[in-house]
Structure 1
Amino acid sequence: MFMMSNAMEIFYSIAMFTTLLFLLSKHLLRQKPSQSPPSPPSLPIIGHLHLLKKPFHRSLAHLAKQYGPVMFLRYGSRPVLVVSSTSTIQQCMTTNDLAFGNRPHLTVGAYLGYNYSSIIWSNIGDHWRNLRRIITVELFSTSRLQMFLSLRVEEIHYMIQQLLLKANSDYDNFTRVEFKAVFFELMLNIMMRTIAGKRYCGEDVEKTEEARRFHHVVSETMYLMGASNLGDFLPLFRWFDFQGLEKRIKDTHIERDSLLQGLIDEHRETANKFSAFSTKDGEKKKTIINVLLELQEKEPKSYSDEIIKGIISNLLTAGTDTSSGTMDWAFSLLLNHPRVLKKAKDEIDAQVGKQRLLSESDLANLPYLQSIVNETLRLYPTGPIVIHESAQDCAVDGFEVRAGTMLLMNVWALQRDPKVWDEPNEFRPERFEGSEWDKGGFRLVPFGSGRRRCPGEGMAMRVIGLTLGLLVQCFDWEREGEEMVDMSEGLGLTLPRAKPLVAMCRPRLAMKNVLSEQI
């Protein structure tokens, strides 16, 4: 009887809460400003959540065709503004850059963003500006990027070595290569060696428990960052965690925090013996953790262990899945367009030759290779939906936007807008040749713009360009069969491929001497 009574009390509590939430939602809906943007019909309590389909960016683009480039939605209790045109996104990233400078407080940011204190999740203010300065000046400045050049080259050359081994150095026949984790492991090695001086992937790397845990944590973090937690929009769901996402987020945070703290403690304990990592040529260089711990000694409050862990976690999040995903898409596009692949190879042969390997300094003289990267980022931006939140009342295209409104900028839709791009769904790197293409302003914004523009853009473009260039220079490539490579989009924050990439690879005979001598 007691259990039945208890169950009835819970039932009535839920019913009363739902009723109150329904009345509150009706009240909030009536409170929309008279100059609010067009909005689809909504449902009580859940608002427009029922209209969202996967993939998310395509769902929003479909709605925008019906209701316009500025659209108001309500995700449960959260007001949402969706913008998807060149002019509206430009307003949000320039005129209203400060007004839309905040991030929404979502559950994932509370845990994986160290209570919204990391640069990805923190609101605009003194703390955010200090973090931005640290990352821009101390970690991604031109001098820092140059300092880590030999490390990047080593890891990309190591990837080429592994492909040669896979092909058994057979210059006559093609070998099947699965790219399921090739680019991801490349980026994870680059980032972890830059951060902590350690490699976690490769045939010559012992599969330690620490390496396995880092693999898991990075992959799990990217999944959770892109997952839709209904508890963030419907408070009732937060009570019960029906999806199990909050528990998963907490568990990932605990494991990741332990791993990152271990790296910091290791560097601190061995500071007198080990203060740098070694490159292949024996040169000693400071890791990012070394740099941050030195700053901590000077300003302990500004560089607490928690702040350092937040910076490291942001670097891992922003530096692995994003760049590896872009390389995945770029190589898939090249396999489906042999003409483009041949043109890129001809450019490299003309500018670099066949007597040495392409280097990072050559990239400035390879405009067509750069056009391939730009066209890939246009078609498959690493962040198809950019999420901000309004810190104050403002206006977009004459429509009123209240403070606390979540902003969704559909970069994917913008970069495929037929009003802006000729044949927008076609892969045509030639559209980026010359200087005419960028006269339209905000036509290509894969790294964002304004205050929250990605500070790692310079490093990403270097790694992507050099990796793709060396793959084209060193190997001949074909599709596995007559069928085109499947370009289906998977689900996730960074627009992954739905199916792992597979290709046929053969070392180039013209590069035989160079490959055997220099790698």
Structure 2
Amino acid sequence: MAANNVDLWYIDWSYLLILILSSIFVRVALTKYGKNSSSPSTPQPPSPLPLPVIGHIHLLGSVLPRSFQTLARRYGPFMRIRMGSSLTFLVGSSPDVARQILKPDVNFSSRFELGPVQYSIYQQGMGFITSPYSPYYRFMKKLCTTKLFVGSQLNQFRHIREHEVRDCLRSVSESSVGGDACNLTAKLTTLMNNLIFRMIMGRRYDKYVDDEVKQIKELVVEIMELGSKCGIYEVFGPLKKYDLFGHGKKLRAAMVRYDDVLEKIIADYEVGDGACRGSGDDLMDILLKTSRDVDAEVKLTNNHIKQFILEMLIASIDTTSAALQWTMAELINHHRVFMKLREEIESTVGPSRLMSESDFPNLPYLQAVVKESLRLHTPTPLIFRECTKDCKINGYKVKAGTKIFLNTYAIMRDPETWQDPDEFVPERFLVNAEGSQLDQAELMKGQDFGSYLPFGGGRRACIGAMHASAVIQATVGALIQCFDWKIKDGDKVDITVGSGFSGAMARPLVCYPVVHSDPFK
């Protein structure tokens, strides 16, 4: 009996091996002869040889943007990549390709949802960030640019930003008094939590005070983690139908709990018992007023609002916190830049007060430092788009429905555009006698359309780019003005990039602050 089992095992694996080899042979043949039979006027973008079932997954490392960059050096700036058995993307990795997609981006104004949308409790297409280019998206974009994230509203939140930065400085100062190590990653994350929650619903993220906000934050993190685990189902198409490990069930349950908490907060607003805001409206106020507007072009429901806030939290907290950490890490690792920035701040602001946002126009080197950090460590290393109409990019035919990645990580390190592209050189963004390398007024809005895209570009550029830039400048400037920074076990910060899409630091930024200028004297 045992011998028969061994024989059967051997035969089964022999057939499997023959099947795999046959699949590879057929694919090679199709690739080779398919190219010869294709019309020369509409060739397909180049692609590495995929393996059966897994596609090109064996060529992709843990840092996806860097893997795409490596492949682009061999296969060109516009290539075809297949992940698993069912997901095929076109990947653009040069400024020229980015301009072809973003500048006249009417054909690429929609985004695709990459993730387990089948487990969402909200109707597909109800989201703002991931919605197609639709009347709902245009309505919400108009609301964002006229009421939610317009200059007057951002100015109204200025006192919140200044208060939270000072609170962060106070916390760092307490660490310096005892000579204790400071987990700057944790402190900057808390800063962003407080800032975003106060802007959205007038409440600080404080686990000892506001239990509802604490619940929301924990649920958002849980939703993100479960979503990434469910993402494996997308790669292997047939698995999408089966929740093999129960992650989808847990994801839906977490979203239900999030929905319950947000519904209670909305109910508090409706009866006039909303957050203690001090003065002015927060984003929840504006959204609820819009939902009650009988003349509005689109009727906003509570589900729209809850989904919108979920997207804002996912998109803003961790990305801006990561950008702050990267900027501080680069400054600590580049002492010359650190001292040049401090000299600019001290000569402009003086020794007796903490810098403020009104000082920004007189701090060009601070602006250059932030822009250079965002170039090297973009919060959006991959831009997602979906083609809505047949067109040509780089001479290749792109069909409607095709999913596109723009690899901004590679684009902003392109050696044909940037001298010493992997080096941290803020001076490249300073205006000189010949003018700046790029149009400074349009950089942060993504209107260069190709070379500089830290917050995306075109019609789907990040709506919070100016706010994020202000937060980074205010926080980094204050931390440099007030403290020197030392690193345990060496004089350099480990700038290893973490795995996945986000490009965050792999390890927490832990260092020792030494008071240089006490803002609380």
TM-score bin (small chain): 0.7 to 0.9
- The equivalences for 1:50-129 within 5 A come to 50-75=58-83, 76-95=85-104, 97-109=105-117, 111=120, 114-129=123-138
Q: TM-score, normalised by structure 1?
A: 0.86
Q: 1:207 to 1:83 in 2, by over 3 A?
A: same
C-alpha separation in 2, matches of 1:264 and 1:493? 32
**Contact persistence 1:218–1:316 (CA under 8 A):** yes
Q: Is the 8 A contact 2:185 2:509 kept in 1?
A: yes
Could you state the TM-score of these two structures normalised by the residue count of structure 2?
Answer: 0.85
2:251 match = 249
Deviations 1:303-348 (A, max 9, x none): 2101111221122122211111000001111111111111111000
Match of 1:154 in 2: 163
Q: Distance in 1 between matches of 2:287 and 2:64?
A: 37
**Which residue in the other structure is 2:444 paired with?**
none
Match of 1:471 among 457, 479, 503: 479
Partner of 2:192: 187
Residue 148 of structure 2, aligned match among 139, 157, 172? 139
**RMSD between superposed Cα atoms in Å:** 2.7
Aligned-pair distance for 1:274? 4.8
Matched, 1:486 2:483: no
Measured in 1, the distance between the counterparts of 2:401 and 2:232 equals 18
Contact 2:122–2:303 (CA<8 Å) still a contact in 1? no
- Paired with 1:28 and 1:382, the residues of 2 have a C-alpha distance of 39
1:453-464 pair list within 5 angstroms: 453-464=461-472
1:313 aligned partner: 310
Matched, 1:48 2:56: yes
Alignment correspondent of 1:430: 427
Q: Are 1:326 and 2:323 counterparts?
A: yes
SS of the residue 1:298 aligns to? coil
Query: In structure 1, what is the equivalent of residue 338 of structure 2?
Result: 341
Where does structure 2 lack aligned partners over 5 or more consecutive residues? 1-15, 440-447
1:126-275 counterparts in 2 under 5 A? 126-168=135-177, 174-201=179-206, 206=208, 209-223=211-225, 229-242=231-244, 244-269=246-271, 271=272, 274=274
Distance 2:87 2:362 in 1: 48
CA contact (8 A) 1:275 1:286 kept: no
Name the CA shift for 1:200/1:310 in 2 (closer, same or farther; >3 Å): same
Letter in 2 for 1:413: A
How far did 1:462 drift? 0.6
- The one-letter amino acid of 1:85's match is S
SS of the equivalent of 2:46 reads coil
Deviations along 1:220-270, whole A, 9 cap, x unmatched?
34445656723324331112234654334323322322222222122112x
From the superposition, tell whether residues 82 and 325 of structure 1 become closer, same or farther in structure 2 (CA, over 3 Å).
Answer: same
User: Would the alpha carbon gap of residues 425 and 107 (structure 1) be closer, same or farther in structure 2, given more than 3 Å must change?
Assistant: closer
- 1:423-449 Cα offsets, whole Å, 9 max, x none, are 111111111111422168621111111
Q: Match for 1:479: what amino acid?
A: I
Q: Is the alpha carbon distance of 1:363 and 1:141 closer, same or farther for their aligned partners in structure 2, counting shifts above 3 Å? A: same
Go from structure 1 to structure 2 and tell me whether the alpha carbon gap of 1:69 and 1:102 turns closer, same or farther (over 3 Å shift).
Answer: same
In structure 1, which of residues 330, 345, 350 is the aligned counterpart of residue 347 of structure 2?
350
Q: Is the 8 A contact 2:176 2:512 kept in 1?
A: no
SS in 2 for 1:486: coil
Would you say the 8 A contact 2:204–2:210 is kept in 1?
A: no
What is the number of equivalent residue pairs in this alignment? 479
SS of aligned partner of 1:199: coil
Indicate how the Cα distance of structure 1 residues 254 and 453 shifts in structure 2: closer, same or farther if over 3 A, else same: same
Q: Provide the rounded CA distance (Å) in 2 between the counterparts of 1:114 and 1:335.
A: 46
Deviation track 1:380-425 (CA, whole Å, cap 9, x = no partner) reads 1111111111112111111001111110100001111122211111
- Provide the rounded CA distance (Å) in 1 between the counterparts of 2:209 and 2:289: 31
Q: CA deviation at 1:185?
A: 1.1
- 1:262 is matched by which residue type in structure 2? K
Could you tell me the percent identity over the aligned residues?
Answer: 31
> What is the alpha-carbon distance in structure 1 between the residues aligned to residue 458 and residue 121 of structure 2?
24
The separation in 2 between residues aligned to 1:83 and 1:60, in whole angstroms, is: 9
Structure 1 residue 297 and structure 2 residue 288: aligned? no
> Out of 508, 513, 520, which is 1:505 matched to?
513
- Check whether the contact 1:223–1:492 (CA below 8 A) recurs between aligned residues: no
Say if 2:382 and 2:405, in contact at 8 Å, map to a contact too.
yes
- CA distance in 2 between counterparts of 1:79 and 1:425 reads 29
Q: Which residue of 2 aligns with 1:38?
A: 46
Tell me the alpha carbon deviations over residues 330-388 of structure 1, each in whole angstroms, 9 at most, x when there is no partner: 11111111111111110000111111111111111111111111111111111111111
Residues of 2 paired with 1:181 and 1:221: CA distance? Answer: 20
Gaps of 5+ in 1: 1-14, 279-283
The answer on 1:391 being equivalent to 2:388 is yes
Question: Deviation string for 1:258-295 (max 9, x for gaps)?
Answer: 222222122112x2x557612xxxxx222211111112
1:361 paired with 2:361, answer no
